[in-house]
Amino acid sequence: MKNIDLRMRALIFDPRLAGLVAILGGVVYSIQSLLYTFTQISDVDEGAYLYQGYLFATGIYHPFQAGGPWTYNAPLSYFIWGVVQALFGPGIRTGRTFAIFLGVLMLVAVWITARRLGGKWWAAIAVWAVVLDLALIKLYSMAESQVLIACMLAWVLALAVGQNQQVWQVTTASVLAGLIVLTRHNLVLVLPILLAYIFWQHGRKAGLWSLAGGVLTVIVGHAVFWPGILVIWTPWLPAKLTPFLAAFRPPKEGSIAFPPNAFKQQVLAFSAGFRYQFTALAGSVAALIVWPRLSRWKNPFKFHTAVFLAVLFFSLLALHGWASLFNKFCIYCFNPYVAFFNVVGVLLVVAIFSEGLKQGSVVRQAIALVFVLMLFTGIGYGSFNLTGIWLLNLRIPRLRTLFMTGKLPEGFAVWDFLESKFHLDYQAARQIAPVIAGFILCLIFLLVTWFVWRSCLRNQGFAWMYFALMSILILGTLLSPIRVLSGGSREYDCAADNIRTNEQVGHYLARIISPGSKVYWDGGGSVVPLLYLPGARILPGQIYDFWSFSPDQDTEQVLKFGLWNQASAAQWKDQADFILIQAGRYGTEWDHFFHSNLLFEELGSSPVVNPCDGRSAILVFRRMP
């Protein structure tokens, strides 16, 4: 029996088995990502990356061109998608296939880095932490910059993190970090933090080579797109301190103002980040709580790398938290912003928890307790749209009747109790009930972990709350696919072949619209169908739909920066050969336009772009000869 136990333990901890588990994770990721490429509708950003990228790659426009498309992000975020389409054909199928490839390539880099930090089994855990995060895979399965940056950043870490990295490896990592800045300038902190780590971990020679490689990459990239590239930096620089950049400051664009209940929206958006990317966010906070004392670090490499990952992750988190949660542009961008650097958080968890849990101070255990309580209640509040009504309708047995009669009574609804005892309205109760449920579940969880710890682990050298933290991380990672966590991300879900419908619409329009025609586009959020219209000319600013609409009345300035306003839209209508309108957007304004302007005839409508929205067909109007 003893020999059998030893063989079982040897099999379970065999590093080769860890490799197979990680490969299985890669297969599962690929299947899920392939599924999501078909079952997600396209959004504004994906359409812009694909369409603008193709226009740039084929030389029809170039980034920051006066009168060209609105180049809101750094140029490579468009160019990379454009080059791929130029090589393999334009369209959403090409873009999303490339996104799957990037996602798998990212997982390989995560495995490499995590293996150096904690061994093969921790590397397999890191891979599966990504695989179980359905919300993250959905983001990475679209042709957008999240998967581009995640893949590039993962390989920066794979090349730079290690005890005996060669100079060429860390220099390549810094060059890649420079390319990240030229892809999404909101990741500008990656390069300086990386360079500091390289000097600290790999020494002066490697640091100087990396400094030269990274800085030169950024300089050359800016020189290629100079001076137009200054446009992406002006929002970061106060106008009063940089009057010499006035010529590069675009007019105000159509951002969304803070809603009246902004604080509620901020809390919900913040909660969505923890729900949809639980392991990276909750795990990183837990890593800080259990961070080993300096004297306990036996390996300087592990210590240097842990500090590097923590500084990188929380610096990027603070920057993107400010940009989304406390900026009027896009509160609910917090979750997709975190997806840029999610892998850093996952690797930070590996770096800290692979060191093992030790006995913690009373202060640290108190912080851990508060964090676990906030985690449960916060996730409860963030999921009230999913669980609120169910909880209010949940019936609670009347215990007094049960004890007195011995019979199970019918009970009463939670909503009746909250209304009668606390006089809450239904909407408030729908939000409060999940918070209470989260708090109760937290108490149950803490009680269970305490009993397990007291019975089996009390003398193993680490604290109860540390065991509770580890337990909630394991449980949350394993349960990530449920709807309360990452499985609740369904904003773009549509259980149909969305690639085929976009292609059908594009081919339908291509049969009607001749190459070189001027097209007025009011066809919905994503311009993907336009990829199938060779040579069609649209008002460039309308690629980003209302996001690039400017209330500014200086039409010349508006068009110069790739935006659009009412006047430019009216001018383009007067010149257009075709007007394309999403059926759901056709209202009294368009009806009045066509009744007062008899120069256009309706040719019918395309198939639906979004199979889950019957009003997503494109109405086609042609200027009569």
Residue percentage of the chain with pLDDT more than 70: 92
Q: How sure is the predictor about 606, in pLDDT bands with cuts at 50, 70 and 90?
A: very high
pLDDT surpasses 50 at 69: yes
3-state secondary structure of 424: coil
Residues contacting 551, CB < 8 A, separation 6+: 252, 254, 565
Q: Answer whether residue 421 shows pLDDT above 80.
A: no
Beta bridge partners of 601: 622
Cα 457 to chain centroid distance, Å, stands at 38
**pLDDT attached to residue 401:** 54
DSSP 217-268: HHHHHHHHTTTGGGGGTGGGS-TTT-GGGGGG-PPP--PPPPPTTHHHHHHH
Query: In the prediction, which pLDDT does 261 show?
Result: 62
User: 477-481: which pairs have CB atoms within 8 A and are 24 or more residues apart?
Assistant: 477/128, 477/129, 477/132, 477/278, 477/279, 477/283, 478/132, 480/132, 480/133, 480/134, 480/278, 480/279, 481/132, 481/134
What is the model's pLDDT at position 524? 83
**Containing H/E element for 80?**
helix 76-88
Rounded mean pLDDT, 216-229: 96
- Whether 403 has a pLDDT exceeding 70, the answer reads no
E-strand spans in 19-176?
none
Question: Mean pLDDT over residues 452-481, rounded?
Answer: 86
Token pair for residue 134? 């359905």
Q: Are 47 and 528 in contact (CB under 8 A)?
A: yes
Q: What is the tens place of the pLDDT at every residue in 16-26?
A: 899 999 999 99
DSSP code of 294? G
Mean pLDDT of 287-293: 91
How many CB atoms neighbour CB 241 within 10 A?
A: 8
Residue 260, Cβ density class (10 Å: 0-12 exposed, 13-18 middle, ≥19 buried): exposed
Closest CA to 177 of 201, 203, 159, 199: 159
Lowest mean pLDDT segment, chosen from 370-374, 460-464, 507-511, 513-517: 460-464
3-state secondary structure of 405: helix
Neighbouring-strand partners of residue 623: 600
Average pLDDT across the chain, whole number: 89
Spatial CB neighbours of 249, under 8 Å, sequence gap ≥ 6: 231, 234, 239
**Does residue 400 surpass a pLDDT of 60?**
no
59 Cβ contact partners less than 8 Å away, ≥ 6 residues apart: none
326-361: burial string, b at 16+ Cβ within 10 Å, e else? eeeebbbebbbbbbbbbbbbbbbbbbbbbbebeebe
- Three-state DSSP state, 58: coil
| pLDDT class of 259 with cuts at 50, 70, 90 | low
Q: What average pLDDT score do residues 183-205 get?
A: 96
- pLDDT at position 411 is 61
Per the CB < 8 A criterion, the answer to whether 545 and 44 are in contact is yes
For the stretch 36-48, pLDDT in tens is 999 999 999 999 9
CB 144 within 8 A of CB 45: yes
Alpha-helix residue ranges (DSSP H) falling in 15-68: 15-39, 44-57
Tell me the mean pLDDT in the region 170-184. 97
**Which tens digit of pLDDT belongs to each residue from 521-541?**
998 889 999 999 988 999 998
pTM score, two decimals? Answer: 0.92
Q: Please say whether the dihedral angle defined by the alpha carbons of residues 335, 338, 343 and 347, taken in this order, is positive or negative.
A: negative
**Phi, psi for residue 619 in degrees, rounded to 5:** -80, 135
Q: Whole-angstrom Cα distance, residue 187 to residue 312?
A: 10
Domain range summary for the chain, segments of one domain joined by +: 2-39+91-255, 362-488, 498-623
Helix (H) or strand (E) holding 157: helix 145-160
CATH of domain 498-623: 3.40.190
